[in-house]
Amino acid sequence: MNLPPVIVRAPLPVRLPALDVLRGVAVLGILAVNLQSFALPEAAYANPAAYGDFTGANVAAWLLVHVLAEGKFVTLFSLLFGAGIMVFSTRLEARGQSSLGTHFRRMGWLAAFGLVHAYALWYGDILFTYAVTGMVAYAFRGLAPRWQFTLGAAALLPPLLLLLLLQGVFGLLPEEMQRDMVAEWRPDAEALAQEIAAYRGGWLAQMPARALSALYLQTSLPIWTGWWTGGLMLMGMALFRWGVLTAERSAAFYGRLVAAGLLAGAPLIAAGVIYNLRHGWAAERSMFVGTQFNAFGALGVAAAWLGLVMLAVRRGVWPAGQRALAAVGRTALSNYLGQTLVCTTLFYGHGLGLFGQLERWELLLILPVIWLGQVAVSVLWLRRFQHGPAEWLWRALTYGHAPPLRRPAATPGPDGQPPVLGS
């Protein structure tokens, strides 16, 4: 799969439909993974043996999410965020404006959204991480795409090397530190009971647990997530400029991408499952190297998802479905925050209080219901409005004035039909 030189683009269109469809797939797919975090104790997200029954249908449900979704859709979303930085800065600079101040103002407000989201609603927020790493990634937008891709790939390695080091020295660490790490990976019954009681309580009762988890994720950004997310953003910039994310490559190219991604990713993920099961999800193994099989295997499976979506876009498969997914993608921020509102209402004590009560296979039954609701609301919303509610607010804060929200009366096209949604 030889990649072409940098594409010199004419002024970018208002919408890039392939990006919208891919973003819609990514934001819906992320929920398949995040649903476990909303519904189960925190340790169960990375360690499926940490809480509840892990046999039969629950193992099957975990495997389905682990192999197809975990790490895959957040990878796509991170690539798309990097592409978004390129689109945003290119459009401003094509009009003779500097993108520097506007970009940092945009990321600053996204960070504010992320802080409110993390501490007021759900600790698993990704917006703050994207805002901070997006500020850093912006500095690399002018590099040649081959350097963006190379540096991005290299940025994925420091967390792996650190985890290899930690596994190697685990037995040499002070006993108290070892106990703390084991307790984080596999909490005892008392710790689990305290977490469940907190999230089944009211909003204020949840705050200590939520704030502690959110703070841990944010302070680990320079050690773990910042490297990984920033690296993927740089790779996304390169893939956008090469036309990979906008369905500009050939169908044969995307077919090879699907095959290569599966061949590279699936065996690694399978090896990780076998490794972790063989070691009984022991902290000294699975917490370190055991997590990296899927982390790197996810890159291949994410590439396969990317290839499949781009093939569908190129070939015009199921146009109505693509328009619906594009609507979700155009309102991705609103949908991401909407997932939190729906799920915290379902699982936390200020809502139905189902936290810790459902099995993994039962969560998979809830998933398509939320998906259908988000697709329907997104399509209906964009029939009347130009932006999602969160997108509109973000844009207004970034530019210092409120853009028009309502969609102007549709002008029929040459076939007498209104413009296609997402075009």
Rounded average pLDDT over 241-256 = 98
Q: What is the pLDDT of residues 189-243, one digit of tens each?
A: 999 999 999 999 999 999 999 999 999 999 999 999 999 999 999 999 999 999 9
Give yes or no for residue 129 having a pLDDT over 50. yes
Please tell me the predicted confidence (pLDDT) of residue 409. 75
User: How deeply is 347 buried, as exposed, middle or buried, from its count of CB atoms within 10 A (0-12, 13-18, 19+)?
Assistant: buried
Q: What is the pLDDT of residues 270-317, one digit of tens each?
A: 999 999 999 999 999 999 999 999 999 999 999 999 999 999 999 999
- Give phi and psi for 142, each to the nearest 5: -90, -5
Q: What is the pLDDT of residues 318-355, one digit of tens each?
A: 999 999 999 999 999 999 999 999 999 999 999 999 99
Domain coordinates of the chain in residue numbers?
22-399
Please tell me the predicted confidence (pLDDT) of residue 13. 67
State the Cα–Cα distance between residues 401 and 415, nearest whole angstrom: 36
Rounded average pLDDT over 64-80 = 98
Rounded average pLDDT over 107-111 = 98
State the Cα–Cα distance between residues 100 and 90, nearest whole angstrom: 11
Please tell me the predicted confidence (pLDDT) of residue 410. 56
The DSSP annotation for 189-234 comes to HHHHHHHHHHHHS-HHHHHHHHHHHHHHHHHTTTTTHHHHHHHHHH
Model confidence at 408, in pLDDT bands (50, 70, 90)?
A: confident
> Which has the closest alpha carbon to 386: 410, 401, 408, 417?
408
Q: What is the pLDDT of residues 359-386, one digit of tens each?
A: 999 999 999 999 999 999 999 999 999 9
Q: Do 72 and 305 form a contact (C-beta atoms < 8 A)?
A: yes
Give yes or no for residue 394 having a pLDDT over 60. yes
pTM value > 0.85: yes
Give yes or no for residue 411 having a pLDDT over 80. no
The rounded percent of the chain whose pLDDT value lies above 90 is 92
Contacts with 50 (C-beta within 8 Å, 6 or more apart), sequence order: 41, 43, 44, 185, 186, 187, 281
Angle between helices 72-94 and 225-241 (to 10 degrees): 60
Please tell me the predicted confidence (pLDDT) of residue 415. 34
Give yes or no for residue 82 having a pLDDT over 80. yes
For residue 209, the Cα-to-chain-centroid distance in whole angstroms is: 23
- Give phi and psi for 52, each to the nearest 5: 80, -175
- Give phi and psi for 92, each to the nearest 5: -65, -45
Average pLDDT, the chain: 93
Model confidence at 418, in pLDDT bands (50, 70, 90)?
A: very low
